[in-house]
């Protein structure tokens, strides 16, 4: 029985893969009309600097997720909108960087914009940051909708990566217009094969993701 338990444990343990960059597709090459603002490649994020592993502002995904995202973009365009990508594949080393940052000290210039009601040291305990992320499986995206006529993102009630219950998709703390925009994004993404995450209006994972047990650690570069 002990041997069986050990085998099961090893089978269920996530795999950290440093492997083949060709498994990751540049979604913007497949769907050129996609808009991108890969925040972790710059300083406009909760850490306030480029995150380890983001050496280029690219939206990389599995082949299957890239195809599904193209379908979502077509649906968005039918509403006069476009998808704007904030994050796609995320290397495991970037997740490790988040965890290390939580335990750090010093000034917190990003606190008012990203976690105004929380202490940095509580972000893991409260579930906002974890030691692994679905993004590292290369089939999860963070995104919003942009009005194609004006180039302006739709009002979603909170910024992306805002660590607060207001970011829950169905939060009644945001106005009706913002909730309707969240629901439209959810409708577009679920119709294209993604499932939402209730606590983050911007976060979606491909239902039939091809690497459900693999957490890649391939650096994002040119």
**Residues labelled catalytic:** 200
Q: Which tokens sit at 137?
A: 């499986």
Are 65 and 83 in contact by the 8 Å Cβ rule? The answer is no
Q: Which of 156, 146, 142, 168 is nearest to 39 (CA)?
A: 142
DSSP calls for 57-73: ---EE-HHHHHHHHHHH
| Cβ(24)–Cβ(218) below 8 Å | yes
d(CA 16, CA 19): 9
73 by Cβ neighbours in 10 Å (0-12 / 13-18 / 19+) ranks as buried
Are 28 and 57 in contact, with CB atoms under 8 Å apart?
Answer: no
Return the C-alpha torsion angle 150, 46, 135, 54, nearest 10: 90
């Amino acid at each position: 029985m002990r041997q069986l338990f050990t085998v099961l444990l090893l089978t269920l343990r996530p795999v950290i893969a440093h492997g083949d960059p060709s498994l990751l597709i540049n979604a913007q090459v497949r769907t050129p009309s996609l808009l991108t603002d890969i925040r972790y490649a710059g300083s406009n994020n909760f850490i306030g600097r480029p995150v380890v592993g983001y050496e280029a502002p690219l939206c990389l995904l599995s082949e299957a997720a890239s195809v599904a995202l193209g379908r979502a973009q077509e649906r968005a365009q039918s509403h006069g909108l476009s998808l704007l990508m904030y994050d796609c594949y995320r290397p495991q080393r970037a997740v490790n960087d988040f965890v290390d940052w939580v335990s750090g000290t010093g000034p917190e210039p990003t606190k008012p914009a990203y976690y105004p009601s929380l202490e940095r040291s509580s972000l893991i305990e409260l579930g906002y940051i974890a030691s692994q992320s679905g993004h590292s499986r290369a089939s999860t995206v963070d995104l919003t909708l942009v009005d194609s006529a004006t180039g302006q993102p739709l009002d979603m009630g909170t910024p992306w990566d805002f660590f607060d219950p207001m970011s829950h998709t169905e939060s009644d703390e945001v106005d009706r217009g913002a909730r309707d925009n969240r629901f439209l994004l959810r409708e577009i993404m679920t119709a294209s094969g993604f499932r939402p995450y209730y606590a983050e209006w911007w976060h979606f994972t491909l239902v039939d993701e091809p690497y459900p047990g693999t957490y890649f650690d391939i650096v994002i570069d040119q």
